[in-house]
Chains A and B, each alone.
Chain A
Amino acid sequence: MKQTILTFITQVNPDRVSELRTLLDVMGSNVEQNPYIPYLDLKLLHFSSLVLTDDDVYGAYLVFENNFDGELDQYLDDLYAHAAEGLHLIYSCCLDYPAGSATEKTQLLSYLRAHIVHPNAYHIGNVGRSAVRTQQEDALRDGFEDFLDEVVAQGDVGPASSIRKKVQTLVRSQPAFAWAANVEPRQTPLEYAVPRLKFAIAAVMALLLSPILIPLAIVWIVMLRWTETHEPAPPELDVKEHIKELVKREDRTHIVQNHMCSITTVKPGLFRRATLCGVLWLINLLARTFFDKGELSGIPSIHFAHWSMIDNGRRLLFVSNFDGSWENYLDDFIDKAAFGLTAVWTNTSGFPKTSWLVGEGARDGSRFKAYARASMTYTNVWYSAYTQSTVQTIDNNSRIREDLFRTLDVTAARDWVRRF
């Protein structure tokens, strides 16, 4: 099953910025019941956010983030069917919006289509699992847990194999659970193979072109090192006030996830822009192949994250939907992925001093965090379709269902029971 990640980025009419902000804040204060976009009806949606940023140079932008199941056309139809009126009100505040009323479907949707930004790189934590399936599997697990409590209470646990039998019988006997017995696999063989094929082709091409690529790489390294040693030191940032604003919406009660949206300015000059573009391309290649099992370079807590170069490559948009606190997320980044994240953000202004693209940089923990905080924008509206689930619990729930009717040997059956 395919998942799609994209943003609609539009410029906001300068005269209507505050009107739009008010509207978004109303939405954000009660996301699930907001009168503009009935998120709960959008069954394809995993996470979505609306961010209004106002920049001295670039003006006001509205970033509408969508992480959904399936293809764009179907999603847009669904969005229109449920939220035409709300979308119309929101986009009426944006520049060049053509529709005169919410009934003008073609105008509305073609406006959205014209403003799609596909990410340069993205990561998905639970590949191939739809939002609906995630919710179903969560409910299934809850049902199993309650059932197992009864098994324990009756004092009749028995070995793993007999526990499994009991659960299998339960599923067969309960119509509410019947769906669990036959569900499509996460990915078709083709969906699995294509990214790997692309990776192989890239590797072969790199090998074939190595006579050209190696000298180019040497030139690039020299330029990189020269740039790094001649750039001014990044300024010390005072982010206390900014953080005070940001945290107002963070760590909400009853949600185990958080959202972060960061916009940074790419360092001037083609060199940094090209380097960033290359780094993101490489990350995307790896994210499709090696990092498609729940972890991005060892970070186990990212549901959907994406990087997009916007404004002709002059700015970098990063959006992430992650588990746990921001502090924990950033620590994970620093401890496990300093290499990659330094390679990305060293190309943007204000990032801590870096050597050889991947050295130092983010390892300067508190400077890096200050930089990251400074780059963040306030998330006006944020929706999660499964507020209580982490990447890990979603994966665990999937495996519980997937392995329920599989023939398992003694060890595997034991491990299955340990998933509870």
Chain B
Amino acid sequence: MAELKAEDMQDIQGFVISGYAHLPCVSYLLLGISDPPSARGWLARLVNEVTTSEGKELISCLNVALTHRGLRRMGLDEETLDTFSRPFVEGMATQHRSRILGDGTENGPTNWDWGGNLTSEPAKPDETKAVDILLLLFGRDETTLDKLVNEHRARLAQCGLTLVLPLGAGRQPDIHEHFGFADGMGQPAIEGTIQTRDAAPRNVIKTGEILLGYVNDYGKLADSPTLRADLDPQDVLHDQPPVDPTEQARPSGASPPVMRDLGRNGTYLVFRQLAQHVAKFCHYLDEATRTLDEELDSTASDRLAAKFVGRWQNGAPLVLSPDTDDPALSKEDDFGYRDSDAHGFKCPIGSHVRRSNPRDSIGPDAAKALATANRHRILRRGRSYGVRPEDRRVDDGVPRGLHFLCLNADIERQFEFVQQTWINNPVFGGLDGEVDPLVGNLTKGDEIFTVQADPLRTRVHNLERFVTVKGGAYFFLPSLRALRYLASL
């Protein structure tokens, strides 16, 4: 496919194209709308400050996303609100979603710090945790970020907004998350963008897998929210393409009303706040790898951790480098599992990376398996929050974890699928009764993890919950046009 046009790059929020790795400091402001007219005024001004995808090197960046509830409060009409995708409309915390995401017991929305009561229904009594807007602020250093955050916080009150919760993430010193592993290498690249420049062909996905209004992997236009043209008298939005590009014009009949595409150049943003229990994690690994005479064995402990993740601490994929953390392979993302490791002897079948992207390993043949797995890719944009522990083995009681953010065009087929069918699936890839050792939802008494080996596998028992969900919501990350439209309501 051709490159996306310059005018589209001006329209797409920069967060889609870049995770702003050059800006190590970040803060997420979760906002509520108290006075819609002022909030629209705020948005009208904000649009001019939103970072686009044009690729300028900036010292700070700003992006903005809204929940379904937020869109309604902004004044979007019900008919249009209904054209958004079902998971987004219903929110992250319905009973069914909690089941498929594994948000039971400790992970359950009732225990969340924010977002838990976020439903599409208007006006619930306890709205303290509900979120309308997510403001993402990035800075080159603390000073730059603080200035930006303060400036925006100062604006809120007179703009009809409330601060539900500031999620300060602070500085991310490097690409390692709190368990100690390099993160962010396994990533799809959006066709038609600069992301494809360094990407292996196997990781390139159709534009419509992430951006709404473009052709997706089925060769169809990604489902996109639309509105009647008469609701957009100032022609802020694009017309919806008349028919799917692959489809013949429909047989004659009353021509349907012209619709405007509210979703084009936008995407859905999934946000989950995942607390990490670092000392528990390290302690578990230590205990599980004691030698026959009960000695600690740090090499075995690190190795088991790598088996959990599927990459070594510095990033080398186990499937390519099963015995050492080869620095030359730390960024490598061009590999499969089928040919070199069908049985999981190098990279366990149930490891986090093999579950969250099984690549070419599941299905009758490699090409088909890869094509199928690639329909379930997510563009991850997460960052750690909370300071690094001085000693990972000591529980200092400081809250820390991962602000897991990801982008996708179809929440159900991408994020939720990964979470349900891969991460939390007890029978994933022929396994029998185990879930993702890092982030899976533990529900049985004795949770196990199998490390395949030749001739015989080993299993570790009584896994603990190393990650707990603290909050979450589904957001819509609109195009700049769509933001302007919302501001104009």
Contact = CB atoms under 8 A, between A and B. Distances in A.
B420 interface: yes
Nearest to A239: B86
Interface in B214-270: 218, 220, 223, 250-251, 253
Interface stretch (B94-102, B183-191, B317-325, B383-391): B94-102
Interface in B58-114: 82, 86, 89-90, 95-96, 99-100, 104
Nearest to A151: B456
A323 interface: yes
Contacts of B90: 244
Interface string A147-159: 0110110010101
Interface stretch (A117-125, A260-268, A324-332, A342-350): A324-332
B457 interface: yes
Interface string B407-451: 000001100110011000111001011000000000100000000
B234 to A, nearest CB: 28
Nearest to A396: B430
B218 A365 contact: yes
Nearest to A158: B455
B430 A324 contact: no
A364 B413 CA distance: 14
Contact of A392 (B417, B420, B427, B459): B427
Given A328-B417, A392-B430, A152 B458 contact: yes
A380 interface: no
A393 B432 CA distance: 7
B86 A240 contact: yes
Contact of A254 (B218, B250, B443): B443
A335 interface: yes
Contacts of A396: 430, 432
A157 B343 CA distance: 18
A251 B420 contact: yes
Interface string A29-43: 000000000000000
A361 to B, nearest CB: 13
A324 B100 CA distance: 11
B86 A388 contact: no
B251 A388 contact: no
Nearest to B364: A298
Given A152-B458, A414-B455, A252 B443 contact: no
A248 B425 contact: no
A169 interface: no
B469 to A, nearest CB: 16
Interface in A131-157: 141, 145, 148-149, 151-152, 155, 157
Contacts of B218: 363-366
A420 B450 CA distance: 9
A99 interface: no
A247 B96 contact: yes
B99 A253 contact: yes
Contacts of B416: 327
Contact of A327 (B220, B371, B421, B443): B421
B372 A331 contact: yes
A335 B371 CA distance: 9
A232 interface: yes
A233 interface: yes
Contact of B412 (A152, A327, A420): A327
A271 B218 CA distance: 31
Contacts of A112: none
A128 to B, nearest CB: 21
Contacts of B89: 240
Given A248-B96, A251-B420, A366-B220, 14 more contacts: A149-B459, A152-B459, A155-B292, A240-B82, A240-B86, A248-B95, A250-B96, A298-B364, A324-B427, A325-B417, A364-B218, A388-B427, A396-B432, A418-B343
27 contacts: A148-B457, A149-B461, A152-B458, A152-B459, A159-B455, A160-B456, A232-B251, A240-B89, A248-B95, A253-B99, A254-B443, A256-B425, A256-B426, A298-B364, A323-B427, A324-B421, A325-B417, A331-B375, A364-B220, A365-B218, A365-B220, A366-B223, A392-B427, A393-B427, A393-B430, A414-B455, A417-B455
Interface of A: 141, 145, 148-149, 151-152, 155, 157, 159-160, 163, 232-233, 240, 243-244, 247-248, 250-254, 256, 298, 323-325, 327-328, 331, 335-336, 363-366, 388-390, 392-393, 396, 414, 417-418, 420
The 7 A-B residue pairs with the shortest CB-CB distance, nearest first, are A247-B96, A365-B218, A160-B455, A390-B427, A328-B421, A152-B458, A251-B100
